Amino acid sequence: MFYTHLVYNERNERDTYGLTPAHWHGLQLQADIWQLVSSSGLFPRLVMAVLLGFSLLSFTIIFSKWGVFRRGRKANAVFLRAFRKAPRIESIAAAIEQFRAAPIVTVFDFGYSELYRQVTARKTITNLLTLERSLQIGISEEIGRMERNMSWLATTAAVSPFIGLLGTVWGIMDAFQALTTSGAASISAVGGGIAEALLTTALGLFAAIPAAISYNYFGNIIKETGQRMEDFSLEFLNAAERNYGEGE
C-alpha cells in the first residue's frame, strides 16, 4: 500500500509532457538567465560578450592542442621504436614522412640535414659540435611550435576574473543606484543589478578556470616532450657516430 502511494505520487509529479518539477526548474533557470542578459545594459552586455569571446577562444585552443599533443605522444613512441630498430639512419630518413606527426621528427630533420651535409662532403662526421647545435635548434623550433597560442590561455586565465570583477562592480553600482531611485529598501529594487554582477562573475570564472588548468597541463606536456627530445638528440649523436664515425 505504501509502495503504491509512492508510485502514484511520483506519477502525479509528472505533467502531460513527462517533465518532473526538477526539469521545469532547470528550464525556468535558463529562461531567467536569458531574460537577465536581454534586460542588461550596454556595458554589462559588453563585459559578457568579451568574457564569452575569451571562453570560446580558450576552449578552441584547448581542444585543438589536446588533440595535437595526444597524437604527438603516440607518434613519438612509434618513431622512437622504429629509430632504435633501424640498422642505419638513412633507413629512417627514407621513411620519415610516415612519422611526421611526431614532434621528435623535427629534431631528426635538423640533425639529419647537418649530418648529410658533412657526410656528403667528407664521407664522415667532420664537426660534431655543429651537429649538436643543429639538434638543439630543432628542439627549440619544435618547442616554439608547441607553445604557440599558449599565451592566450595564460591571458584568459589571468584577465578573465578581473573583467568579471569589473562587471560585478558595475552591477553593484546599478543596484545601489536603483535603490536610491526607488527610495525603498527592497530586494526587487536591487535584485537586477546584483544578478548582473553575479552573472559576470560566473562568466569570468567559467572562462578563467579551464584556461588555467589547461595551461598548466599543457605546459607539463611540453616540458616532458622537451626532455624526450633532449634524450633523442643524444641517441641521434650516438647513432651518427656509429654509422659515420672516423672508424667507419
pLDDT at 37: 57
- Helix, strand, coil fractions of the chain, as percent rounded to 5: 85, 0, 15
pLDDT the model gives residue 25: 43
**pLDDT < 70 stretches in the chain:** 1-41, 175, 178-193, 245-248
CA-angle at 22, arms to 16 and 26, nearest 5°: 105
Q: Closest by alpha carbon to 200, among 53, 45, 60?
A: 45
Kindly state whether residue 175 falls inside one of the protein's structural domains: yes
**Considering the domain boundaries, does residue 30 fall inside one?**
no
Structural domain boundaries enclosing 179:
43-244
What is the pLDDT at residue 59?
A: 95
Q: Does residue 11 belong to any structural domain of this protein?
A: no
Cα–Cα distance, 18 to 87 (Å, whole number): 68
pLDDT of amino acid 11: 46
C-alpha cell at 76: 613519438
CA torsion sign for 138, 143, 144, 145 is positive
pLDDT at 191: 57
For residue range 185-218, list pLDDT tens digits in order: 555 555 556 777 778 888 899 999 999 999 999 9
The CA distance from 221 to 213, in Å, is 13
Quote the number of domains for the chain. 1
Residue-level pLDDT at 233: 94
pTM of the model: 0.76
Provide the pLDDT for residue 26: 43
> What is the structure's pLDDT at 226?
94
- Find out whether 80 and 104 touch, Cβ atoms under 8 Å: yes
Structure confidence at residue 19 (pLDDT): 46
Integer angstrom CA distances of residue 32 from 23, 53, 216: 14, 22, 35
Cβ(33)–Cβ(195) below 8 Å = no
User: What pLDDT shows up at residue 109?
Assistant: 94
Domain contains 153? yes
Grid cell in block for residue 143: 618547442
Domain annotation covers residue 12: no
Burial of 120 (0-12, 13-18, 19+ CB in 10 A): exposed
Helices (H), 39-186: 42-85, 89-94, 104-122, 128-146, 150-182
Q: Answer whether residue 67 is part of any domain.
A: yes
Distance (Å, rounded) from C-alpha 169 to C-alpha 172? 5
Selection from 68, 90, 92 nearest residue 80 by Cα: 92
